[in-house]
Each structure stands twice: as structure tokens, then as C-alpha cells.
């Protein structure tokens, strides 16, 4: 099999796994919006971590063959990754409750630009002309969306930019972890470590606020929180971080307009188009590289 054919197969697997991740992240965003009036961000994320931990622990109990997969030689890197991801996840969830979803998602798409910078330094990935262009266009698009100095500037947008930076660092850590750790272990330690972090910021009686009316979004947060990272981790196994993460741009920013009647902001779409141009330029170049 030629190198080019192998790359095409890998890219196909990346697209399939990222399709699952995109659907999961969208479900989680909608679920967080539905729960924000009743629960704090810490409480919502505690449900996410608890749900994932329950599912993974149940699988380990029912299938003893999975238990050896939990062995780790890099508990320190797990702790570092989950501390960064915890902060980024909180900032992301908070932004979802403060910003129009189109703006939030568009700013989140700056993550590939951050990732390309860090991947070159921390993972030794090549800095190609297309990757450089994606970084430049990513930051240009972010400036268009933020409109610094104009009355329409939203300070909460900076929170989402910080979240995108944190997610990029967390993805770098995952890329390092998959060299020695199983997907099962990465997911287990993510939920086990982040659950107490979220509980520390939650009300002691928040479980009493659970009602039949919010059961569906709570289930959505728990399932999507696990499935999104399962798909993303497997996508990272199939390709470079700078190929995998840009596919997150395929998440539909019109979801805020279609579900919540949020106005369509021309600056958001212009900025998202600039970011997307850089992302797809890079993807096209990567797919053509021999």
C-alpha cells in the first residue's frame, strides 16, 4: 500500500470519528442551554462527569477484560490534561450560556490555530505554508467576530477564546497520552478526576433540582460528554492533531438561529468564513500531501 493510500484511509477514519464528535458537541451545547436556568455550570458538568464515570465503571465491572486497560504509567500527564480541560470546559459551558451560539461556535473554531502553534512546538509536527495560513486566517477571523473597539463587542467572547486555547492544550496532551494509554483509560481518568472538581463548585443539594422536565437534557449532557471525547480521541489516533481538530468547523453555527431565534450576525458569518477558509485550505493541502 502506498503512503498516499494509507493517508486517505486515515483521513476517512478521521472524518467518521469527527462526525460523531461534532454531533455530540452540538447535543451537549443544546443540553447546557436547556439546563442553564436551573443548574450552575459546575452542576451541569458534574452530571456530565458522573454519567460518564458510571457508564465506564459499569463496563469495567461487566467486562473484566477492560480492567487491565485502566493501567497507566502517566498519571501526572492525566492530571495535567484534566486540570486544563476542566478549566476550558467550564469556560466553554459558561460562554454557551452568555453568547449567541453562532458567535460562541465561531470563536471556538480558533482552536485549530492555537493547536497548530502548539503542535509544532510540543509534538514536533511540521509547520507547512497551509498550516501557517490557517493560523493567520484563524486569528483574523476572530478579530472580525470580536470587533474590538466597537459597541457590539461582547466581553464574554474572551471567555470562549480562552476556552479554545485550553482545548488546544488539552488536545496536545491527549495526543501525547495515546502513545501509551488506551482510550478507555483516557476517558475514565477524565471523568474520575473532573467529577470532584465540579462537585467542589456545586451546591450540596443540587440533585434535588432534578425534575422530569430536565431529565432529557441531563441525559444528553451525560451521554454526549462521554461520546464526544470517545470519538475525538479515536480521531486523534487516526491522524495529526492539525488535521483532526479543524474538522470541528463543520459544526453548524445556524443551530442558535434555528432553535433559539438568535439573530444572524453578518460579522460572525464573515469571521467564520475567514476561519473556515484557512481550515479547509489546510485540510486540502494535507489530503494532497504525498
pLDDT band at 9 (very low <50, low <70, confident <90, very high): very low
Q: Is 120 exposed, middle or buried (0-12, 13-18, 19+ CB in 10 A)?
A: middle
Q: Could you tell me what percent of the chain has a pLDDT over 70?
A: 81
pLDDT the model gives residue 41:
93
pLDDT the model gives residue 252:
46
Q: Quick one: which of 14, 179, 176, 164 has its CA closest to 81?
A: 176
pLDDT the model gives residue 248:
56
**91-105, 237-251, 259-273: range with highest mean pLDDT:** 91-105
Average pLDDT over residues 146-168: 78
**22-36, 102-116, 175-189, 235-249: range with highest mean pLDDT:** 175-189
Cell (9 digits) for 162: 480562552
Interatomic CA distance for residues 243 and 235, integer angstroms: 10
Q: Quick one: which of 92, 99, 95, 103 has its CA closest to 228?
A: 92
Do 114 and 165 touch, CB atoms closer than 8 A?
yes
Interatomic CA distance for residues 146 and 152, integer angstroms: 8
pLDDT band at 18 (very low <50, low <70, confident <90, very high): confident
pLDDT band at 23 (very low <50, low <70, confident <90, very high): confident
Instruction: List, for residues 128-138, the tens digit of each pLDDT value.
Output: 787 777 778 87
- Provide the whole-model pTM: 0.74
Amino acid at each position: 500500500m502506498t503512503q498516499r493510500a494509507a493517508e486517505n484511509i486515515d483521513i476517512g477514519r478521521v472524518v467518521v470519528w469527527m462526525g460523531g464528535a461534532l454531533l455530540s458537541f452540538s447535543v451537549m451545547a443544546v443540553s447546557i442551554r436547556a439546563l442553564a436556568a436551573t443548574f450552575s455550570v459546575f452542576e451541569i458538568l458534574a452530571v456530565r462527569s458522573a454519567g460518564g464515570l458510571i457508564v465506564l465503571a459499569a463496563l469495567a465491572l461487566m467486562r473484566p477484560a477492560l480492567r487491565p486497560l485502566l493501567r497507566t504509567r502517566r498519571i501526572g500527564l492525566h492530571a495535567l490534561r484534566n486540570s486544563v480541560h476542566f478549566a476550558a470546559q467550564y469556560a466553554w459551558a459558561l460562554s454557551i450560556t452568555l453568547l449567541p451560539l453562532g458567535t460562541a461556535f465561531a470563536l471556538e473554531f480558533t482552536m485549530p490555530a492555537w493547536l497548530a502553534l502548539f503542535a509544532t512546538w510540543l509534538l514536533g509536527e511540521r509547520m507547512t505554508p497551509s498550516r501557517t495560513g490557517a493560523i493567520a486566517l484563524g486569528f483574523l477571523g476572530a478579530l472580525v467576530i470580536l470587533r474590538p473597539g466597537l459597541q457590539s463587542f461582547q466581553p464574554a467572547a474572551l471567555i470562549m477564546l480562552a476556552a479554545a486555547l485550553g482545548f488546544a492544550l488539552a488536545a496536545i496532551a491527549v495526543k501525547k497520552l495515546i502513545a501509551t494509554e488506551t482510550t478507555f483509560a483516557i476517558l475514565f481518568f477524565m471523568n474520575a478526576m473532573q467529577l470532584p472538581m465540579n462537585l467542589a463548585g456545586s451546591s450540596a443539594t443540587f440533585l434535588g433540582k432534578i425534575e422530569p422536565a430536565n431529565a432529557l437534557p441531563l441525559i444528553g449532557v451525560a451521554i454526549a460528554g462521554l461520546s464526544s471525547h470517545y470519538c475525538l480521541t479515536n480521531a486523534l489516533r487516526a491522524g495529526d492533531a492539525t488535521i483532526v481538530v479543524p474538522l470541528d468547523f463543520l459544526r453548524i453555527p445556524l443551530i442558535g438561529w434555528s432553535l433559539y431565534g438568535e439573530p444572524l450576525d453578518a460579522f460572525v458569518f464573515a469571521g467564520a468564513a475567514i476561519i473556515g477558509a484557512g481550515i479547509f485550505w489546510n485540510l486540502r493541502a494535507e489530503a494532497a500531501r504525498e
